[in-house]
Structure 1
Amino acid sequence: MTRKSNAEFVKWFGPLLDALRDLGDSGRPREVSDRIAKNLNLTDEVLDETLKSGDSRFHNQVAWARQYLVWEGMLKSSKHGTWTLTEKGRTAHISDAQAAEIFKKWVAIHAENRKQKAAEQGEATEEEAPTPDTPQADQKMSLIAILRSLSPLGFEKVSQELLRESGFENVEITGGSADGGIDGFGTLEINPFVSFKVLFQCKRYADGNLVGRSQVGDFRNAMIGRAEKGIIITTSSFTNAAVVEANREGAPKVELVDGAKLVEMFQRVELGVKKRTVYDVDLSYFERFRD
């Protein structure tokens, strides 16, 4: 990837701030991305483009835009997944030229930081900031690769264990070709008085092979009369049309778990992964003390 293509995410700086203002100064990552897509009337072609990991390129770029705005002091650095504007961010309106300057500024800061670290360790380093398509020490792709390497039945079984660890009871795999598109079912208890049956479908897909609208519709049809809720779990992602279909008004809602969310679920219950703590220097904190 060239540096030019890696820096494409700077175009989302201004739209990201606008989206957060529309949402009341804060929002969950997907809410923010969806609002940007709505505000700019982005096409399915843009929204369905994926990275090698199978993640949405658009959502990935918006996440990187958010990171640069955190460094710039326009967004808070939340530990709980909510993106929130700071006072500086609430009043900021960023032009394309200003976005480019912010990007260059933090490229230089990170390059200098790595130079100093390399000098201390006696190692060579590249003068380039982290970029969306070359994440540093990212374990997500390796976990997705492992899940994709499992057999179809193996992926269903590990999904079964994940659902059990996530609070589902009586989780069973249906198996066989006569399952009507249903790979398994379980019961989710909301409280001692309320519980409901959930059906799930597992799609062990490779890069770029997205779950489409028709597959969501077929799964919902298979649910009718059998369960109140349905979940589609994939190692890939979903087309924008599939997301719209899953949330269509007047139809049973289908929960969609893509590769990124799947990794988060494994990490949350620490299933098949080992937790470790790594501390990185928060450069944005020290930036205000440079003057």
Structure 2
Amino acid sequence: MSSGKMVTYDQLMVPLTKALVKLGGSGSIDEIYETVVDIEKFDEETLANLHNPEKSSQTEIGYRLAWARTYLKKAGYLENSSRGVWALTDKAKQVSEIDSREIVNFVRTLDRKASLITTDPSKPELSVEDSPEEVLAWREKLHHILIEEMSPDAFERLTQRLLRESGFIHVEVTGRTGDGGIDGKGIARINGLMSFHIAFQCKKYKGSVGASEIRDFRGATVGRADRGMFITTGNFTKAAIEEANRDGAAPIDLVDGDQLADKLKELSLGVRTELVEKVSVDPDWFFNL
């Protein structure tokens, strides 16, 4: 799809469900995003468009896909697990193709009492209860801290802690100049039986990391690690993702700003999850006494 008018969230509902069908009925947020991009053939200019560059590294397509997931879930076509896996429901599997306009009208009817009706399909109203996980305020605050307030050294230490908490051992931060972009190294162990050496680069960045940076980093890891890991507070271009997974080349694992935030939340590293009690009054109960 050529650049131009940005696709709206309701226009992404059909491609989203098609992506899940292609993925076998379920998929992670990243898998869904990549498959929708492949189906719709979005160009680099469209994919590089960030929703709010000053507050988040989330792309506009990612933001609108989040709203598409929310509407489809509220309409009963999607379900999701605590591990971030989204799946088609039986209701979704029983129709050949969903009607996005019908879904939007249905969800708005449900939300009318809460005054969540919007006239602009590209900018739905937000609510604490139903907002997509990517647009919650904590992500913007975390992104600001990582980009604007943390020093490069502190960010490297954060990456070291993150890898250790994720099961890596012998994690060291090198950060030496002239080291080909390698900021550290470690050993990943699988089931206590297998292990492989990794080299990582952690980049504080607002924009998109391109393919050339992935190639340079891979070159630095040759003969020094089994595989590489590139962690950024920004995001990766489509070309960078393709380069990281190029056939015949050593694989590079990519961790973008959203994935980094999710992992910090999962491991409770500077991000706490609190359960809030919601109290409501049922008038009918009193009237029926």
The alignment's TM-score, normalised by the length of structure 1, stands at: 0.81
Is the alpha carbon distance of 1:137 and 1:20 closer, same or farther for their aligned partners in structure 2, counting shifts above 3 Å?
Answer: closer
Determine if contact 2:208/2:234 at 8 Å carries over to the other structure.
Answer: yes
| Residue equivalent to 2:265 | 267
Matches within 5 A, 1:159-170: 159-170=159-170
Matches within 5 A, 1:28-107: 28-52=28-52, 53-94=56-97, 98-107=99-108
User: After TM superposition, what 4+ stretches of structure 1 lie above 6 angstroms from structure 2?
Assistant: 131-136
1:258 to 256, 259, 274: 256
Is the alpha carbon distance of 1:194 and 1:244 closer, same or farther for their aligned partners in structure 2, counting shifts above 3 Å?
Answer: same
The answer as to 2:10 corresponding to 1:10 is yes
| Residue equivalent to 1:130 | 126
| Residue equivalent to 1:139 | 138
Deviation at 1:250, TM superposition (A): 1.0
1:225 to 223, 227, 252: 223
Deviation at 1:88, TM superposition (A): 1.6
Is the alpha carbon distance of 1:185 and 1:135 closer, same or farther for their aligned partners in structure 2, counting shifts above 3 Å?
Answer: closer
Is the alpha carbon distance of 1:162 and 1:77 closer, same or farther for their aligned partners in structure 2, counting shifts above 3 Å?
Answer: closer
Is the alpha carbon distance of 1:186 and 1:145 closer, same or farther for their aligned partners in structure 2, counting shifts above 3 Å?
Answer: same
2:213 to 215, 218, 221: 215
Gaps of 5+ in 2: 117-123, 280-289
- For the residue of structure 2 that corresponds to 1:189, the secondary structure is strand
Deviation at 1:232, TM superposition (A): 0.8
Is the alpha carbon distance of 1:24 and 1:48 closer, same or farther for their aligned partners in structure 2, counting shifts above 3 Å?
Answer: same
Deviation at 1:110, TM superposition (A): 2.3
Determine if contact 1:106/1:129 at 8 Å carries over to the other structure.
Answer: no
Deviation at 1:69, TM superposition (A): 0.6
Q: One-letter code of the match for 1:256?
A: L
Work out the CA distance in 2 between the residues paired with 1:180 and 1:137: 36
Deviation at 1:92, TM superposition (A): 2.9
Kindly report the root-mean-square deviation, in angstroms, between the aligned alpha carbons of the 2 structures: 2.6
- For the residue of structure 2 that corresponds to 1:76, the secondary structure is strand
Work out the CA distance in 2 between the residues paired with 1:280 and 1:102: 27
- For the residue of structure 2 that corresponds to 1:8, the secondary structure is coil
Work out the CA distance in 2 between the residues paired with 1:177 and 1:233: 18
The alignment's TM-score, normalised by the length of structure 2, stands at: 0.82
| Residue equivalent to 1:173 | 173
Work out the CA distance in 2 between the residues paired with 1:83 and 1:134: 13
Work out the CA distance in 2 between the residues paired with 1:192 and 1:90: 40
Deviation at 1:185, TM superposition (A): 0.6
Deviation at 1:7, TM superposition (A): 8.7
Determine if contact 2:6/2:46 at 8 Å carries over to the other structure.
Answer: no
Determine if contact 2:58/2:257 at 8 Å carries over to the other structure.
Answer: yes
Deviation at 1:108, TM superposition (A): 4.2
1:236 to 234, 237, 252: 234
- For the residue of structure 2 that corresponds to 1:51, the secondary structure is coil
Q: One-letter code of the match for 1:270?
A: S
Deviation at 1:100, TM superposition (A): 2.9
Determine if contact 1:111/1:129 at 8 Å carries over to the other structure.
Answer: no
Is the alpha carbon distance of 1:71 and 1:193 closer, same or farther for their aligned partners in structure 2, counting shifts above 3 Å?
Answer: closer
Deviation at 1:231, TM superposition (A): 0.8
Matches within 5 A, 1:181-196: 181-196=181-196
Work out the CA distance in 2 between the residues paired with 1:277 and 1:225: 48
Work out the CA distance in 1 between the residues paired with 2:39 and 2:191: 39
Work out the CA distance in 2 between the residues paired with 1:25 and 1:137: 27
Q: Which moved more, 1:102-111 or 1:48-57?
A: 102-111
Determine if contact 2:179/2:220 at 8 Å carries over to the other structure.
Answer: no
| Residue equivalent to 1:124 | none
% identical equivalent positions = 37
Determine if contact 2:180/2:216 at 8 Å carries over to the other structure.
Answer: no
- Give per-residue Cα distances to partners, 1:208-246, cap 9 Å, x unaligned: x21111000100000000000111111111111101111
- Give per-residue Cα distances to partners, 1:13-50, cap 9 Å, x unaligned: 11111222222222222222222222222222222222
